[in-house]
Chain A
Amino acid sequence: LAKTTQPISMDSYEGQEVNITCSHNNIATNDYITWYQQFPSQGPRFIIQGYKTKVTNEVASLFIPADRKSSTLSLPRVSLSDTAVYYCLVGDKAAGNKLTFGGGTRVLVKP
């Protein structure tokens, strides 16, 4: 499984855009990149998934450069309720293999 590296923590303010970059240098051809959000004492929640270029949904955008060795989750205009831990995971979607959750990035949104 591809190993991922992401910042331990980030602070932001309400209304700002938050960008979290994840490194996955040994990503495999069949691997997809998926981001999850976790609030305290809750299970992680799926945010977004992509393979290359850019993916956008109602919650976030995911930017993936051509070499796919990194990806950036972008949260537009964050609010206090976006304070959470964000996990970047890489795995083979077709096989649906078990995913490994690293330490994630703790995002604190301040008033």
Chain B
Amino acid sequence: DADVTQTPRNRITKTGKRIMLECSQTKGHDRMYWYRQDPGLGLRLIYYSFDVKDINKGEISDGYSVSRQAQAKFSLSLESAIPNQTALYFCATSDLDRASGNYGYTFGSGTRLTVV
């Protein structure tokens, strides 16, 4: 099983609809993130959470909201989807790997969202 699981993998929705993207992790990490990637571009941070009671806006949070239901779950909602929110969405977790000393991110496989 994947360490970071995103559902759904693909979704087509209509303009104005509310949609939720879900993310769950088995890494036991406190820190979770939602990123958006547009074709040919890098990832842009939407929201992040450093623990269950902590929610922070990223660089492009307008039009999005999040919920950290538990340490392992972090969901992203589009309250009223619009076509320019069509993108690939990634959830990620991060923590210090004590064995290597490296601090790294683990990403999910992504959710491809199309708003028509």
Contact status of A101 and B112, CB under 8 A, knowing A96-B94, A96-B95, A96-B96 = no
The answer, among A41, A96, A101, for a CB contact under 8 Å with B35, is A101
**Interface residues of A, dominant DSSP:** loop
**B90 — nearest CB in chain A belongs to which residue?**
A43
> B105 touches which one: A41, A46, A103 (CB < 8 A)?
A46
- CB pair B58–A98 under 8 Å, yes or no, is yes
Q: What is the distance, in angstroms, from B94's C-beta to the closest C-beta of chain A?
A: 6
Query: Is there contact, CB below 8 Å, between B31 and A96?
Result: yes
Given B58, B59, B104, which contacts A46 in the complex, CB threshold below 8 Å?
Answer: B104
B43 near A101: Cβ-Cβ < 8 Å? yes
Interface flags, A98-111, vs B, CB<8A=1, else 0: 11111110000000
Known: A43-B4, A104-B42. 8 other contacts (CB 8 A): A34-B104, A41-B88, A43-B110, A44-B43, A46-B105, A96-B94, A96-B96, A102-B42
List residues of B whose CB falls within 8 A of some A CB.
Answer: 4, 31, 33, 35, 40-45, 48, 50, 56, 58-59, 88, 90, 92, 94-96, 102-110, 112
